[in-house]
Chain A
Amino acid sequence: EIVLTQSPGTLSLSPGERATLSCRASQSVSSSYLAWYQQKPGQAPRLLISGASSRATGIPDRFSGSGSGTDFTLTISRLEPEDFAVYYCQQYGSSPNTFGQGTKLEIK
């Protein structure tokens, strides 16, 4: 199965700053079948991005996804207070679906 490694484990930034989160796959993810989710404490994950770069309905345009092959990135252009959460990547190019271990985005 494809192993996804997210980095950094924790990212400390201030509101208004730019956040760059990385997701690296142990083998190429076919067709850029990669999704990103946001999870806040006590809540279920929420889909942000599918197909590596397509924002889900209602997701602000400060969230963007990019990448292909084995390297993918989630960028939050200008952090809002509500963006501090844990972010997970998930690949669906190869069975089974697998998730990364998460990146915690915390307020500096």
Chain B
Amino acid sequence: QVQLVESGGALVKPGGSLRLSCSASGFTFSDYYMTWIRQAPGKGLEWISYISSSGSAIYYADSVKGRFTISRDNAKNSLYLQMNSLRAEDTAMYYCARYHVPAAILGWFDPWGQGTLVTVSS
């Protein structure tokens, strides 16, 4: 079955860096766009980045642009999120999801991984 497993979440100090990983199985990873979505504790959902199947097209939300970098390794069925210059407001559960794109760069998310928690605090 389709499965996404995130890892790499941790407690990090403001200004620090972290790299999240998402390991995919059960589908042809290289055929799909992938995306990262985050959820601050007790809050709603925020779409923060996507990457096309080949890696040639990338999007970032304004809230993370210039600080986060999304990438993928299709040979390893893996998605990554490099997070630099972390701030307290980046504290959240980070989910990777398969991204279904019927309209240009926009679409829906299915399935989601279980998430990995990033806490930014001194």
User: What residues make up the interface of B, taking CB atoms closer than 8 Å to A?
Assistant: 44-47, 59, 61, 95, 100, 102-103, 105-115
In the bound complex, do residue B47 and residue A95 qualify as a contact, i.e. CB atoms below 8 Å apart? no
Residue from A35, A51, A56, A88 within 8 A of B44 (CB atoms): A88
Q: Mark A27-51, 1 if CB is under 8 A from B, else 0.
A: 0001101010100000111110011
Number of A residues with CB within 8 Å of any CB on chain B:
26
**Chain B contacts for A31, CB-based, 8 A:** 103
Interface positions of A from 4 to 40, Cβ below 8 Å from B:
30-31, 33, 35, 37
**Chain B contacts for A45, CB-based, 8 A:** 45, 95, 109, 112
In the bound complex, do residue A93 and residue B44 qualify as a contact, i.e. CB atoms below 8 Å apart? no
Chain B proximity of A35: nearest CB distance (Å) = 4
**Chain B contacts for A33, CB-based, 8 A:** 102-103, 106
A81–B47 Cα distance when bound, in Å, is 30
**Chain B contacts for A30, CB-based, 8 A:** 103
**Chain B contacts for A100, CB-based, 8 A:** 44
User: What residues make up the interface of A, taking CB atoms closer than 8 Å to B?
Assistant: 30-31, 33, 35, 37, 43-47, 50-51, 56, 88, 90, 92-102
The closest CB in chain A to the CB of B115 belongs to: A44
**Chain A contacts for B45, CB-based, 8 A:** 37, 45, 88, 90, 99
Interface on chain A toward B: helix, strand, loop, or mixed SS? loop
In the bound complex, do residue B103 and residue A47 qualify as a contact, i.e. CB atoms below 8 Å apart? no
In the bound complex, do residue A47 and residue B105 qualify as a contact, i.e. CB atoms below 8 Å apart? no
Chain B proximity of A66: nearest CB distance (Å) = 17
Question: Which 9 interchain pairs have the tightest Cβ spacing?
Answer: A47-B110, A44-B112, A92-B106, A35-B108, A99-B45, A97-B47, A50-B108, A101-B44, A92-B107
In the bound complex, do residue A44 and residue B114 qualify as a contact, i.e. CB atoms below 8 Å apart? yes
In the bound complex, do residue A90 and residue B108 qualify as a contact, i.e. CB atoms below 8 Å apart? yes
In the bound complex, do residue A46 and residue B102 qualify as a contact, i.e. CB atoms below 8 Å apart? no
The closest CB in chain A to the CB of B93 belongs to: A44
In the bound complex, do residue B47 and residue A47 qualify as a contact, i.e. CB atoms below 8 Å apart? no
Chain A proximity of B111: nearest CB distance (Å) = 7
In the bound complex, do residue A47 and residue B108 qualify as a contact, i.e. CB atoms below 8 Å apart? yes
In the bound complex, do residue B102 and residue A102 qualify as a contact, i.e. CB atoms below 8 Å apart? no
In the bound complex, do residue B112 and residue A46 qualify as a contact, i.e. CB atoms below 8 Å apart? yes
